[in-house]
Amino acid sequence: MTDLNREREARDTSQMASSGRIAALKVLLVAHHERGEAGAVARQVVEWLRANGHRGWLLPDDADALAMAELADDTSPAEADLVVSLGGDGTMLRAVHLLDGAAVPLLGVNLGWLGYLTEVEAGGLTDALARFASGAEAGRWHLDERLMLEVVAEQADGTPLGTWRALNEAVIEKWESGHTIRLLARIDGERFTTYAADGLIVATPTGSTAYSLSARGPVVSPRHRALLLTPVAPHMLFDRSLVLDPSESVELEVLGHRPAQLSVDGRLITILREGDMLRCVPSPATACFVRFSDVRYHQVLKEKFGLSDR
């Protein structure tokens, strides 16, 4: 059992009353700032939580954006029993980043279009919360744990630029339009090859249906632990993705004078220049999504991408 699983088990045990229910939920709501319905749903959820002896709140930034100052609270996301994401997959990613590796379950409510990572629609949210409060021991929900990346960048002289976690991917892409960039890829410290391309994506299985998919990378089941290295518009004969074992590290070095930009899960992080390095390995932390059914991954894929029976 991993340390995170032990932490989660200890949290669940301490929160269970004699009936097996979670006595009083602490629920953080993370809401999309530009979807009008997010505020209305947040208010309804907080009212339901309070009426049933639970607590719900928004972080100050979300509360300000939705003009709901009365729900603002700066309590750390790590202290929540559950984080509820109100939006789409982008809001789910933001919720994962706010947790910063904390072992807190995340429930996604789809207020967007695709909602690939989300679990329920807005109309079913209060029922979902009631099911969650009944406790995992009641068999009414389970956790879907997803591998995340640990992303470390440093300058050519070894000066650290920072460390981040990614649920989907880390991307090094060209900064200037109309030019390719050159990137040296190392696997487990050994030179693999030099890419001339618009960029390189290091993705998780969850991220295999995000940017990597649009770059013609493979679709990988999220149950699988792997790293994907996918080139973006490569200007070379070798244009295939690599699917690597999670024990293998990926290092990317910027070659030549053209700068590149580093993005993590769609967020622009910094500009990398000649000799700067990026290293990606599996994070010891995982993202934990609440699921209420045993629908298989390929069936979710089929539904979300509108694949027909043939």
Question: How does DSSP assign the chain, residue by residue?
Answer: --HHHHHHHHHHHHHB-TTSSBSS-EEEEEE-TT-HHHHHHHHHHHHHHHHTT-EEEE-HHHHHHTT-GGGB----GGG-SEEEEEESHHHHHHHHHHHTT----EEEEE-SS--SS--EEGGGHHHHHHHHHT-GGGTS-EEEEEEEEEEEEE-TTS-EEEEEEESSEEEEEESSTT--EEEEEEETTEEEEEEEESEEEEE-TGGGGTHHHHTTPPP--TTS--EEEEEES-SSS----EEE-TTS-EEEEEESS--EEEEETTEEEEEE-TT-EEEEEEEEEEEEEEESS---HHHHHHHHTTPPP-
Domains for the chain: give ranges and CATH numbers.
3-141+292-304 (3.40.50.10330), 148-285 (2.60.200.30)
pTM for this predicted structure:
0.88
Q: Is 89 a catalytic residue?
A: yes
List 12, 61, 81, 89, catalytic entry: 89
Q: In a structure prediction context, what are the per-residue pLDDT tens digits for the chain, which is 310 residues long?
A: 445 444 554 454 344 433 445 678 999 999 999 887 899 999 999 999 999 999 999 999 999 999 999 999 999 999 999 999 999 999 999 999 999 999 999 999 999 776 778 899 999 999 999 999 987 666 789 999 999 999 999 999 999 999 999 999 999 999 988 899 999 999 999 999 999 999 999 999 999 999 999 999 999 999 999 999 999 999 999 999 999 999 999 999 999 999 999 999 999 999 999 999 999 999 999 999 999 987 777 777 777 677 777 6
